[in-house]
Each structure stands twice: as C-alpha cells, then as structure tokens.
Chains A and B, each alone.
Chain A
Amino acid sequence: MMKRVVIFCLLLAAATPFLLGCIAPPPEKGMVIRFGYQPSTHQVAFMLAMEKGWWQSDLARLGVVCVTEAEFPSGPPEMQAMLAGDIDVAYVGATPPITAIDKGLKAKIVAGVQINGSHLVVKPELAESFTAEKLRGAKIATFPPGSIQNTILRKWLLENGLDPEKDVDIVAMGPGDAVTAMGAGAVDAAFLPHPYPAIIELEGSGVMVVPSGNMWPNHACCCLLVSEKLLEEHPEIVKQIIKTHINATLYCREHPDEAAEVYARKCGWDVSQVKYSLDTWDGMWVYDPYIGLNCTLEYARVLYELGYTEKLLTREDLFNTTLYDEAVAELGL
C-alpha cells in the first residue's frame, strides 16, 4: 500500500511541470507592458483604449509585442503588485501611490485620469432640505482612513462645524459592503466614488445630496502611475502611453454613452445604471496632471500627519510631468 502511495506521489510530482506548462501562458518574446486598473467608471479611458485595441496598436510601433491587464479590487493590492514588479503602469487613486512611494515604490505620476466623482448619499428621511447638521450623530460609511474619500469627508465635516471623531461615527468599509449597509439601514449615510452612490439611489435606499466637487472643488481622484524603470529605460513608450491615454480620455468625453457601454460590458454592470451614474456625477475624465497636483500634495500632507508615511513627500517624489509636457506639445493640445 505504502509503495503504491509513494509511486503515485512521484508520478504526480513528475507530471506537475507538464500540467503547469499546459495552463501557463506562453512566454512572449519582446517588450510586454503590464497595466493595472480597477473596475471603476473613473478609469474607463483605460478600458476603452483596451477594447478598441489602441494600446496594442499604438505601442507596437515602439517594439511592444503584448499589452496585458490586471484588474484589482482597490488601490492597495494594485500598489502591492507594482511594488512586487508585476505591473508597469497603473490606473489608480491618488493616495495609494503616496504611501507606496513612501515605502520604496519606484514610480511617478505622469498624467491625471479623473477629478471629483464621489457623492455623499444619505437615507431618504435625511435628504429633504439637507444640511451637514443633519449628520450629527449619524453613522457614515466610507473608505478607510487615509483614503481620498475619508480625507475629503473629514475635511468637509470640519468645515461645516462637525467633529469627525465626536459628532459622527465614520465606519470604514469597501463599496459593496457600504451599498449593502445602506440597503439594510445599518448606516445613515455613505460617501463613495461613483457608480456606487447612483446604485444606492436607484435601489431607493438613499439619495445623493452633496457631490465631492462641492466639498473640495476639482479634487484629484485617479491618476496614471508609471514605474521608474519604464520611465528611465523606455521614455518613448511612456510618452506614447500618455498620448494614448489623452486620446482615450478625449474620446470618452465626446462619447460618454459608448464609454458607459464599454464599462458595463467589461465590468458586468447594467448599462442603464452606468449611464445614470455618469449623468448624475460631477466627475470629469482628465489627462492633465497639473489639475490634481496641489490636491495630491495636500493628501500627502494629511497622510504624513496621520503617521501613514514616514516623510512628507514632495512634488519631485510623486510627479514626473516632463513626458506629459512633451506629449501635449506633440499632439498640439
């Protein structure tokens, strides 16, 4: 019996490399650019360019043989993957790169992706003649401390005379849990990026009352982050990535319905929900990194003061706008 088990184990061990060989993708010869993104309407420019094959066709001229994509549920695991060297380019929120760069990630923000685009949504009984004062004693769901949403919400509460620590109960959770919590009446309000506030409103469990652009005008939300290795070794490829991103962003702005369809198809949403979200949000797809630059530096200051970064990161630590400037000049924008 023992002999049979040993023989079986040896055969299994011998077969493993072949089995793995069958399921592993074949190695690519030539340059491969690996993108990371999140399934958010904020980053639809990436999805559109991917669906239309623009990344592949634009980068092929520069020797890129393959463009891959990896979807991440949120920014931290995306940055973790970049730190581990698994992705070269990331569409990501503005705060995850700050803490990652502080921890040793060699990467720079090279372009903007989107500004504003979050909404405070409250349960229907609080919505009529809404003022911030109505949130006194309320339980508000949002992303964890240090995130863009948490930072903006706390700033806005303070500006409206409410102490985020004493006057309200801010509970940290992911967007799916927050939508469930609103539906169950487990929280009184939620401050989330689109399309989640629109989903809550469509489900009838909440009403969108304050867009994030009213709380902090033109605040940075998502950005385009590129590894320093790619920046140093292949600046021409990075410049082309920026150009393709600009073209995709302009196309999304001109064809929002098509952008909504691309997003709905790729992420498995109902297209009417996505269109409703895009009709009601105050977000804007951008490519200019200068729009969100000061705001990102403000996020860096908040993260430093909260003790989430060891040092106060500067513009030089976070941004590289040289290639963007060149790309814009070459495109004649």
Chain B
Amino acid sequence: MNLTALKGRILEVISLCVAVFLWQMVSDYVVRNYFILPSPYLVARSLLELWTTLPVDIAISMLHFGIGLSLGTVVGVSVGAVTGWFRVADRIADPIIEIIRPIPPLAWVPFAIVWFHLTHRAAGFIVFIGAVFPILINTYAGFRGVPRDLVDAALVLGCKKEKLMLRVAFPYALPSIATGVRIGMGVGWMCVVAAEMFGVSRSGLGYRLFQIFYPHHKMAELMLYMLILGLISLLLDRVFRHFVEERLLAWKKGLVAEA
C-alpha cells in the first residue's frame, strides 16, 4: 500500500470514528432517550448478546438473496439480451415488462405465498422481483447501444450473422450488464427484509427485525440489524466490484475517462 492510499484509509477510519463519537454524544447528551436514538455503546452491547443468532440470520438472508439474485440475473440477462437485440422481441415484451416493472415487490407477497407457499423460494421470489428489472433494463440498454460500425466490422472480418449476438453484442454489453447486476444486488438486498416478513422462516435479518425487535421496541437491536444490512450490502458491492470491474472488465482500463 503506497503512502497516498494509506492516507486515504486513515481518513476513512477517522471519519468513521468521528461519526460514532458524534452519534454517542448526541444520543447521551442531546436526545437522552435511547428509544429515539440508541447509542453506539448499546448497539455494540446488543451485538454481544446476539452473537449466536446473528450468523444464522445472516446465512438464511443470504440464502434468500442468493435464490433471488441468481434467478434475477439469469432471467434479466436473457430477456434483456433478446429484447435489446431483436426488435420484434422488444415490441412483444416491452408493454408486459413496463406494466410489471413498477409494481412494488411487497405487493407480490400474497402471490409468493400462493405460488410458493411458506418456503425459502417464496422469499427468493420477492428478492427476484426486486433484482430482475434493473438487470433486465441495463442489459437491454447494453445490447441496444451496440454501434453499427462494430457490427459491420465484425461481418467484414468474417463473423457469421448468427454469432454476432454472442461474439460482438454480448462483450460490448458486459459493462451495462455488470452495472445492472450491481444495481439489482442493491435493490434485491433491500427486498430481503420484506421477503422475510410473512413467515417463510424463523430466522433471517428481516424476520428478526420485523417480527421480534420491532414489535418489542428493541431499538438498539433494530439499529444493529439495520447497520448489519448496510454493511453486508457494502461488502457484497465491494466483492462484486473487485471480481467484475477489476478482473472481468479489466480491459476497460485506459479506454474510459477517469477523473
């Protein structure tokens, strides 16, 4: 790690420490009501009390997230690619997608129960609804944006017409697909809480938040789980960026403008 990077890290740590200190001060001396604003100390103490249930809750939520995101990626990329590349498919699918897309994931809960019963798949379905559309739309945009020159050049160089989609359009659309998956991950993770509110399991971050902590006004525990939801989302995003942007899309370095 060079000196500049180290300085950046130190700044980040100082920023976090100052935020926690201010939070503690505001909680203790300004608000002075742990129901309205639990202090970082109480939140940390609740972490010690919940260290046995927390790993199980994270595992179950990751299971729901994994089901929804993997299905969302498969469906979103497939449908987005086909509708983005073939005009007829776009005409057929667009009105259907545009009607379904604005429906909030929470509104699908009754159908999740009816179609999948009280299973992990039902929770995965709610995550899927949240994740699929950003992936689909970004994939669509990626395929729609393939430059004519690129297609012509590929044809001149001997690429067969039926292979254009896979060999030319797909690599060109990869950065858009990656952006879609990244946004889909964020939205899907937000849906995990909603997905665990209707009895699909007796564990999970959302279950614990809404069925245990909220009804009993356990605000420190609530805050802890909210922070954990945020931290896991951050971690997922960093891992995704590391593997996709740094490895899979490494070829982009030098081709795009960087400030």
Does A184 contact B117, Cβ atoms closer than 8 Å?
yes
The distance in angstroms between the C-alpha atoms of A103 and B219, with both chains bound, is: 9
**Interfacial residues of chain B within 103-130, with CB under 8 A of chain A in the complex:** 109-110, 113-114, 117-118
Does A177 contact B199, Cβ atoms closer than 8 Å?
yes
The distance in angstroms between the C-alpha atoms of A172 and B196, with both chains bound, is: 10
Contacts of B217 in A (CB 8 A): 76, 79-80, 83, 99-100, 102-103
Contact digits for B204-248, partner A, Cβ 8 Å, 1 yes 0 no: 000100011011111100000000000000000000000000000
Minimum CB–CB distance from A308 to chain B (whole Å) comes to 4
Contact digits for B30-70, partner A, Cβ 8 Å, 1 yes 0 no: 00011110000000000000000000000000000000000
Query: A173 an interface residue at 8 Å Cβ cutoff?
Result: yes
Look across to chain A and name the residue whose beta carbon is closest to the beta carbon of B115.
A184
Query: A64 an interface residue at 8 Å Cβ cutoff?
Result: no
Contacts of B216 in A (CB 8 A): 76, 99, 146, 303, 308-309
Contact partner, A144, options B34, B114, B212, B219, Cβ 8 Å: B212
The distance in angstroms between the C-alpha atoms of A139 and B217, with both chains bound, is: 27
Does A180 contact B214, Cβ atoms closer than 8 Å?
no
The distance in angstroms between the C-alpha atoms of A308 and B213, with both chains bound, is: 9
Query: B91 an interface residue at 8 Å Cβ cutoff?
Result: no
The distance in angstroms between the C-alpha atoms of A322 and B218, with both chains bound, is: 31
The distance in angstroms between the C-alpha atoms of A79 and B207, with both chains bound, is: 20
Does B35 contact A177, Cβ atoms closer than 8 Å?
no
Contact digits for A178-208, partner B, Cβ 8 Å, 1 yes 0 no: 1011011111000000000000000000000
Query: B198 an interface residue at 8 Å Cβ cutoff?
Result: yes
- Known contacts A79-B217, A147-B215, A184-B117; A177/B109 CB under 8 A: yes
Contact partner, A171, options B109, B199, B212, Cβ 8 Å: B199
Contacts of B110 in A (CB 8 A): 176-177, 180
The distance in angstroms between the C-alpha atoms of A333 and B13, with both chains bound, is: 68
Contact digits for B187-208, partner A, Cβ 8 Å, 1 yes 0 no: 0000000000111001000010
Minimum CB–CB distance from B51 to chain A (whole Å) comes to 15
Minimum CB–CB distance from A243 to chain B (whole Å) comes to 31
Query: A45 an interface residue at 8 Å Cβ cutoff?
Result: no
Contacts of A185 in B (CB 8 A): 117
Query: A96 an interface residue at 8 Å Cβ cutoff?
Result: yes
**Interfacial residues of chain A within 152-184, with CB under 8 A of chain B in the complex:** 171-174, 176-178, 180-181, 183-184
**Interfacial residues of chain A within 44-73, with CB under 8 A of chain B in the complex:** none
Does A146 contact B215, Cβ atoms closer than 8 Å?
yes
- Known contacts A99-B215, A100-B217, A308-B216; A173/B199 CB under 8 A: yes
Look across to chain A and name the residue whose beta carbon is closest to the beta carbon of B210.
A144
Contact partner, B113, options A74, A145, A180, Cβ 8 Å: A180
- Known contacts A99-B217, A100-B217, A171-B199; A177/B113 CB under 8 A: yes
The distance in angstroms between the C-alpha atoms of A309 and B219, with both chains bound, is: 12
Query: A17 an interface residue at 8 Å Cβ cutoff?
Result: no
Does A183 contact B219, Cβ atoms closer than 8 Å?
no
Query: A75 an interface residue at 8 Å Cβ cutoff?
Result: yes
Does B113 contact A172, Cβ atoms closer than 8 Å?
no
Look across to chain A and name the residue whose beta carbon is closest to the beta carbon of B114.
A184
Contact partner, B199, options A96, A104, A181, A183, Cβ 8 Å: A181
Contacts of A180 in B (CB 8 A): 110, 113-114
Does B211 contact A141, Cβ atoms closer than 8 Å?
no
Does B202 contact A171, Cβ atoms closer than 8 Å?
yes
Look across to chain B and name the residue whose beta carbon is closest to the beta carbon of A170.
B202
Minimum CB–CB distance from A192 to chain B (whole Å) comes to 13
Minimum CB–CB distance from A286 to chain B (whole Å) comes to 24
- Known contacts A139-B118, A186-B113; A174/B198 CB under 8 A: yes
The distance in angstroms between the C-alpha atoms of A147 and B35, with both chains bound, is: 20
Contacts of B211 in A (CB 8 A): 144-145, 172
Contacts of B198 in A (CB 8 A): 173-174, 177, 181
The distance in angstroms between the C-alpha atoms of A104 and B33, with both chains bound, is: 8
Look across to chain A and name the residue whose beta carbon is closest to the beta carbon of B49.
A307
Does B212 contact A145, Cβ atoms closer than 8 Å?
yes
Contacts of B36 in A (CB 8 A): 83-84
Does B118 contact A186, Cβ atoms closer than 8 Å?
yes
The distance in angstroms between the C-alpha atoms of A146 and B207, with both chains bound, is: 14
Does A184 contact B113, Cβ atoms closer than 8 Å?
yes
Minimum CB–CB distance from A73 to chain B (whole Å) comes to 12
The distance in angstroms between the C-alpha atoms of A147 and B118, with both chains bound, is: 21
Does B118 contact A96, Cβ atoms closer than 8 Å?
no
A residues near B (Cβ < 8 Å) are 74-76, 79-80, 83-84, 96, 99-100, 102-104, 139, 141, 144-147, 171-174, 176-178, 180-181, 183-187, 303, 308-309
Further pairs besides A172-B202, A181-B199: 13, Cβ < 8 Å: A83-B36, A84-B36, A103-B35, A144-B211, A147-B215, A172-B207, A173-B197, A173-B199, A174-B197, A176-B110, A180-B110, A183-B114, A187-B199
A-B CB proximity, top 9 nearest = A171-B199, A173-B199, A186-B117, A144-B211, A308-B216, A184-B114, A177-B198, A99-B216, A103-B217
> What are 17 sample pairs from A and B whose C-beta atoms fall under 8 A apart?
A76-B217, A83-B217, A99-B216, A100-B217, A102-B217, A103-B219, A104-B33, A144-B211, A145-B211, A171-B199, A172-B199, A173-B198, A176-B110, A180-B113, A181-B198, A186-B113, A186-B114
